[in-house]
Amino acid sequence: MQIGLIIIGDEILSGKRQDSHLAKFIELLGERGMQLAWAQYLGDDRAQLTARLRDAFASGDLVVSCGGIGATPDDHTRQAAAAALGRPLALHPEARELIWQRIQQMAADQGKTVTPDEPDSLRRFEMGVFPEGAGIVPNPYNKIPGFHVGNVHFVPGFPVMAHPMMAWVLDRYPQLHRQVGVIERSLIVQGAMEASLTPLMESVEAEFPGIKVFSLPSVDHPQWGRCIELGVKGSPNHLANAYDALKRGVILFGASISTELVR
């Protein structure tokens, strides 16, 4: 099972707001020894969302989708999820109760009384209309929940709500957690071209299953100038041996190593 992140909102694509979900999700994954496999940014377009979510549901991946689950005209995620699944939308009983608790709390804070059948309450209940059969993703900030169907989970776009909800989602999958430790080692190589080191990278990956070799060239690094960060990441069982093999190969090639990094 891979792990994916979908970030939804025209305001992100237009630059009106800066995304903080990707960095936070990677941080939450790292705390649990997990890694992100893919991420997508999408606008508030229902047809496009439906197509992308259909792929997400079919993938079998653990997916978190951020944004677009409100009840205003520019929110399309709930409807797109239902269309992708071929299911009707329905007011979730537990979601309704949680939203009603929030409505009452807000009214009490303002010294007002409220009923569940007045227009404002009915509009707020719309935020609990999910694809039929969905489960709840709890929202510790204001009780208004997100939802999940299978391994695809939907949370709000507000970081203060979304980030603890992301953590809750990841903790639903303890079988994917790994002991946090060294999962990446690399070295700064100078005096070699990336293409000339490709055979070495291929041989290390072939020799050590579960290991990925990565290469990040730079022409103007502020500390090392023209260089390549060359490293390995993946299974802790093979990481040290794979790194040693990579380092030996660089030395045998005749390139210089400026420094070594551990993450």
Low-confidence winner among 27-36, 132-141, 232-241 (lowest mean pLDDT): 232-241
CA distance 247 to 260: 10
| pLDDT at residue 238 in the model | 85
pLDDT at 235 > cutoff 80: no
- The number of CA neighbours under 13 Å toward the Cβ of 225 is 5
Cβ count near 20 (within 10 Å): 13
Radius of gyration of the chain (CA): 23
| pLDDT at residue 151 in the model | 97
Residue with tokens 């010294």: 111
| pLDDT at residue 184 in the model | 87
CA distance 3 to 60: 9
| pLDDT at residue 168 in the model | 98
CA distance 63 to 155: 11
* Residue ranges of E strands in 181-255: 184-190, 211-221, 225-234
Q: What is the pLDDT of residues 166-194, one digit of tens each?
A: 999 999 999 999 876 667 899 999 999 99
Give the mean pLDDT of 193-197. 92
Residue with tokens 């070594």: 260
Q: Report in angstroms the alpha-carbon separations of 157 from 93, 154, 167, 203, 210.
A: 23, 9, 15, 43, 34
* Percent over 70 (pLDDT), the chain: 99
* Percent over 90 (pLDDT), the chain: 91
The overall average pLDDT reported for the chain is 94
Cβ count near 76 (within 10 Å): 23
Cβ count near 12 (within 10 Å): 20
Residues facing residue 66 across a β-bridge? 7, 155
Q: What is the pLDDT of residues 70-79, one digit of tens each?
A: 999 999 999 9
Closest CA to 186 of 234, 221, 225: 234
Degrees, nearest 5: CA angle 230-235-237: 110
104: confidence class by pLDDT, cuts 50, 70, 90 = very high
Containing 72, the helix (H) or strand (E) segment is none
Domains of the chain (ranges, CATH numbers): 3-176 (3.40.980.10), 184-262 (3.30.70)
**Which one-letter amino acid corresponds to residue 251?**
I
Q: Report in angstroms the alpha-carbon separations of 253 from 8, 193, 197, 227.
A: 46, 11, 8, 15
| pLDDT at residue 180 in the model | 64
pTM of the full structure: 0.84
Q: What is the pLDDT of residues 115-171, one digit of tens each?
A: 999 999 999 999 999 999 999 999 999 999 999 999 999 999 999 999 999 999 999
237: confidence class by pLDDT, cuts 50, 70, 90 = confident
